[in-house]
Structure formats: C-alpha cells, structure tokens
Amino acid sequence: MFYLKYRPQTFSEIDNLQAKETISKILASKTLPHAFLLVGQKGTGKTSTARIIAKAVNCLNNKFSKNSSTKSFEPCNKCSNCQSIGLSSFTDVIEMDAASNRGIEEIKNLIRETSFLPMSGGYRVFIIDEAHMITNEGFNALLKTLEEPPDSAVFILATTNLEKLPKTIISRCLKINFGKANSVDILSMLKRISKAENIDMNDDSLELIAGHSENSFRDASKIFEEITLQKIKSVEEIEKFLGIRGRNDLIETIEKKDLKKTLVWINNFSQNGGDFKNLIEDILNQLHTQLMIRNNILESDAKKSILTLTEISLLMKLLIEAYQNLRNSPIDSLPVEIALIEFYNRISS
Ligand SMILES: Nc1ncnc2c1ncn2[C@@H]1O[C@H](COP(=O)(O)OP(=O)(O)O)[C@@H](O)[C@H]1O
Ligand SMILES: [Mg+2]
Ligand SMILES: [Zn+2]
C-alpha cells in the first residue's frame, strides 16, 4: 500500500509545507517544548509527524544525542532507537488512542508512566491521538501534568477537532497546524512516490489526481495506487476513472442540441449508477466557469463552450430547478430530463 509504504519517515518527507516549516523551526531552536498539539483533518500527517518527533528526540545520531556533535534534528532511521520506534517496540514511546481510552483511569495510568525515567532514550514520548475524545475528568487530570511536566517527558496530542479541546489544555501546548492538504502539497507527495516507484506519469496527470483528492494525502495516495495498478496514464483515462468524464460528455451532447442523444446519455448514466446530484453540481460548476470566461472575469484554459450566453444562463436556471426537485422526484433522472426537454423547447421557439 503506497500510503503506508510512503508514510513520511523524516521531517523533510512531510509534504505539508507549512507544518514542516513550523516543526523545523521548533526543533532547530535550543529548548524543546514538552507538549505539542497537532491539529488538522484526517490524513494530513499528524500521526506520521508525532512518530517522527518521537524518533528525533530519541535518535542516537542527531543533535538530541549527547554523543553526537551534529546540528541536525532529523532522525537517522538507522540507529537502534529509531528502528525500534519504527517497529512500535520502543518502551519510551507510548501511543494512546483516546477514542478508546478516554476515561480518568486511563489518563491516570498514563500520568503514572510519566514519572519513570527513560530506559533507552533521551525522552519518554506520550502520543495521544484523537485527544478531543478525553473526558472532562481526564482533561483535568492531564492538565496538572501538562502544567509541570517532568523534564524527560514530551507529550504529543493530535486532534481533528480543536474546538472540542478545553482552552486550558490548548494553552499549555505548542500548536502545529496541519489544516487540510492542498493540491500543491499533494502533488509534491505524488512526485515523491512516483520517483521512488519509477512510475512515468506526466505532470498533467499527477495534477489532475492531486486536484481531486484535495483534503487528504491518504486518499491521494490510494487513488494514485489504484490508477497505477490499472495501468492508466493519460489525462483522459484518469478523468474517466475519477468520473469527471461524464460531465464533459454531457455538455458536448447538449451542445449538439439533439434531444434523443441527450436522453440516451442520461439513461446510460442512470443505468451505470451515476449520481444525479453530483452530475448537476458538476455541470453547474462548469457552466459557471463558462459564464466567467465569457465576461472576462476569469482567465482559463478550459474549452470555450459553443452555447450562447443566453443559452448558458437558461440552462443554469433550469438545472437549479432540477436540483431542487431531485429530493421529491420518484425517479432520479426525471428532473434533469425535464430540464433538458424544456431547454431544447425554449431555445428552438
Ligand atoms: N504531510 C504528509 N506528507 C506526505 N504524506 C502524508 C502526509 N500526511 C499524510 N500522508 C500520507 O497519509 C498517510 C496517513 O497519514 P497520517 O499521518 O496517519 O495522517 P493523520 O494522522 O493526520 O490522519 C501516511 O501514511 C502518508 O502516506
Ligand atoms: Mg492519525
Ligand atoms: Zn536514529
């Protein structure tokens, strides 16, 4: 699985530019914070980063090791500490999923663990995933420890829901924002993977994938893996795979103003399990872009439609009606069919 195989192992491999820069600054400075809070949507690199920090502060070959003179804060991924953290068998790194261990007892057990000195590393690192799930009592217990953490303890809290964390907890931690994955960052991950896998795919295709998995690195690498397994490469094939092709085909059919062909297209779309809500949204988006291009508000290399401005706005109006009627229609395809019949009627009269 690409998404596991290419989980970042060093800070430089974190393709989230903003988060990478923040962490690098923090770790390059003299003092190490004792509590981090990693915030962001799922699949943006929180767990990966927590593990890299755990390795970095325990690595035997970087600035955190007494026996090394280097200034680098990257984990070497070769020493015995890095390796056993990678295998989750390092006693000084403790990972807890607060989704299933949320109560006061679990937190107390964790706090008890903080009083022990590290066995083989420099720091005991406590990673608490889904931290917003902790109960109020749990948070209260944790707060005291976060106020005066032992020198040898580092806490890393990760959450997708910052607003569910008490302010008192947030203010004790150094916050690192992962936000959502943007397509530029995703593109850089896809390039990293294709280089390592020797996949020869052009930038247009990679950009198309990146643009359609906007929120998550994990989703992007899954889509990318499926596409390479199916040996798909061209932009057209990928568009078809991602379901974008349908929208373009329908607009081309509408441009020909042939009612029969249009109805056949819709029927096929419906038979293949197409989603009319998505279809209407896609087409409206497309028409909206055309509207902006026509009025010189937007510069785009999208193909210019042969429909006139009046036709475009009529079509949009009818499709919005169809969109509103979707929910009350006994047959999914009806609202779109009615909209297009009406469209052809009006433009020919
Ligand atoms: N910032 C990133 N850079 C590169 N790959 C990433 C990044 N974030 C996530 N990934 C990919 O997604 C997978 C899941 O990431 P993970 O760290 O578990 O995300 P989170 O904990 O935020 O849900 C990783 O194994 C990796 O393949
Ligand atoms: Mg995670
Ligand atoms: Zn190391």
pLDDT confidence of 337, banded at 50, 70, 90? very high
* Residues of the chain above pLDDT 90, percent: 67
Which pLDDT value is given to residue 87? 93
**CA angle, 204 then 266 then 224, to 5°:** 25
Question: Which listed ligand is nearest to 56 at the C-alpha?
Answer: 3
- Rg (Cα) of the chain, in Å, rounded? 27
pLDDT of 50 above 70: yes
* Residues 156, 49: Cα–Cα separation, whole Å: 10
Beta carbons within 8 Å of 117's beta carbon, 6+ residues apart:
124, 152
User: Which residue from 1, 7, 18 has its CB within 8 A of the most atoms of ligand 1, so it is best to mutate?
Assistant: 7
Sheet holding 153-159, edge to edge: 93-97, 124-129, 153-159, 35-40, 174-179
**Choice between 221 and 180, residue whose per-residue pLDDT is larger:** 221
> What's the mean pLDDT in 280-290?
88
> What's the mean pLDDT in 117-139?
94
228-271 residue pLDDT tens: 998 888 888 888 777 666 666 788 889 999 999 999 989 888 87
CB contact at 8 A, 335 and 276: yes
Which pLDDT value is given to residue 301? 66
Which pLDDT value is given to residue 101? 87
- Beta strand residue intervals within the chain, DSSP E: 35-40, 93-97, 124-129, 153-159, 174-179
Which two three-digit tokens encode residue 81?
């500490």
Q: What pairing do the DSSP bridges indicate for beta strands 153-159 and 35-40?
A: parallel
CB contact at 8 A, 33 and 26: yes
Which pLDDT value is given to residue 276? 85
305-314 residue pLDDT tens: 889 999 999 9
> What's the mean pLDDT in 2-20?
93
Which pLDDT value is given to residue 83? 96
**For ligand 1, is residue 6 a contact (CB within 6 Å)?**
yes
Three-state secondary-structure class, residue 93: strand
**What pTM did the predictor assign?**
0.75
pLDDT confidence of 214, banded at 50, 70, 90? low
pLDDT confidence of 345, banded at 50, 70, 90? very high
Cβ neighbours, 10 Å, residue 196: 11
**For ligand 1, is residue 44 a contact (CB within 6 Å)?**
yes
pLDDT of 349 above 80: no
Judged on CB neighbours under 10 Å (0-12, 13-18, 19+), 171 is exposed
Which pLDDT value is given to residue 289? 87
Q: 75 CA distance to ligand 3 centroid (A)?
A: 5
CB contact at 8 A, 271 and 333: no
Tokens 């997708």 — which residue? 160
* Residues of the chain above pLDDT 70, percent: 97
**For ligand 1, is residue 217 a contact (CB within 6 Å)?**
yes
**Choice between 50 and 273, residue whose per-residue pLDDT is larger:** 50
Which pLDDT value is given to residue 248? 66
